[in-house]
Amino acid sequence: MSETLIGLVSQYSPSGQEHGAVEWLVARMKSLGYDNAFIDEAGNAVGVMGQGAKQVVLLGHIDTVPGEIKVEQVSDLFYGRGSVDAKGPLASFVDAVAKVGVKDGWQFVVIGAVEEERNSEGARFVATQYKPDFAIIGEPNQWDRVALGYKGSAWANVTVKRGQAHTASGEETAAEAAVEVWLKIKAYVDSFNADKPKVFDKLLLTLRGMDSDSNDFEQWAKLKVGVRLPVEVSPEDWYVKLKEIVNGEIVEPTGFAISAWKCEKNSQLVRAFLSGIRSQGGEPRFVYKTGTADLNIVAPVWQCPAVVYGPGDSALDHTPNEHINLDDYRKAVEVLSAALEKLSG
């Protein structure tokens, strides 16, 4: 059962270098009896099982962060870059759909998306190509847990400018003003979070960098400010508030801002997973994550019941010790198979 996992992890594929792994996975899905397997226009690996009117999309990502790790099995532990994040979940999708096979009236689409660790270009493409009845997103959350929400994120550069002044003048420098601006931002976030006991409902603020410089007439300091967003605060809301807090200083949004997403808990899909986990002797648990995932990209577009599922310990994401327990992987395949059987039964 672990051949798909081992083969996929053996294909080193950091973001931007996924093509070899994509070709391997397409060939693997063909060998497992998928009705169709191909590389789409964005470079994603796609496998299709069945031709029914009701569709389930199982969306994982095939790229990893950089940093090659020796691919090896030590007892029941399997080491390699991506074994957890997130080739383990993706491989479990591939194996589970192969195990279930064709179900009358249903179509299962497994996608290994590119670029998730950067700008989610693969997921942004597939969001426009499918309109599934159910969506399963692949991220590591342990075989007996179902993730129902991921926070959003927004990044901005806040630049403070001041006129040049003699160092003995006593006037506030741009760097000093920038520190005060940061403290104001932090004070607002602390106030916002004060009555929110759950981390998922809080703003999670981070200062990722600060630099300053000057010329003959002007000095400036730039703060690189990031925030993880709760469902109730959209990126647009945050940028408006940030501009209000810094009161006239320059705010420049950077990168792709992403809204938080919380899945419906009482759905046919969730019930299928609860049943699947119990079938393997597990006690199902729900989790809400502080990071972002491709869920945040596709769920607002598809507007269908969705969950995030996959074997592996997310504490090992991006680490030099990344590894997955093969027994947990096997259980995850069985959970997915049982869930798909119940959903399509």
Question: Is 172 an annotated catalytic residue?
Answer: no
Of 61, 59, 62, the residue nearest 109 (C-alpha): 59
Q: Report the distance separating Cα 323 and Cα 319, nearest Å.
A: 9
The single residue of 18, 63, 115, 322 carrying the catalytic annotation is 63
Report residue 324 as tokens: 């997955």
Among all chains, which residue has been given the structure tokens 């009358």?
A: 104
Question: Which residue type occupies 73?
Answer: Q
Q: Report the distance separating Cα 93 and Cα 108, nearest Å.
A: 10
Of 70, 29, 33, 31, the residue nearest 46 (C-alpha): 29
Give Cβ neighbours of residue 160 (< 8 Å, ≥ 6 apart).
Answer: 174, 177, 178, 181, 220, 221, 222, 223, 249, 250
Among all chains, which residue has been given the structure tokens 């190509």?
A: 129
**DSSP secondary structure code for residue 294 in this structure:** T
Question: Is 116 an annotated catalytic residue?
Answer: yes
The single residue of 85, 95, 116, 249 carrying the catalytic annotation is 116
Of 319, 280, 302, 31, the residue nearest 143 (C-alpha): 280
Task: List 325's β-bridge partners, or say none.
Answer: 77
Instruction: Note whether 81 and 21 are within 8 A (CB).
Output: no
14 burial (CB, 10 Å; 0-12 / 13-18 / 19+) is middle
Determine if residue 341 is left, alpha or beta; phi over 0 gives left, psi from -120 to 50 gives alpha, anything else beta: alpha
Residues assigned a catalytic role:
63, 116
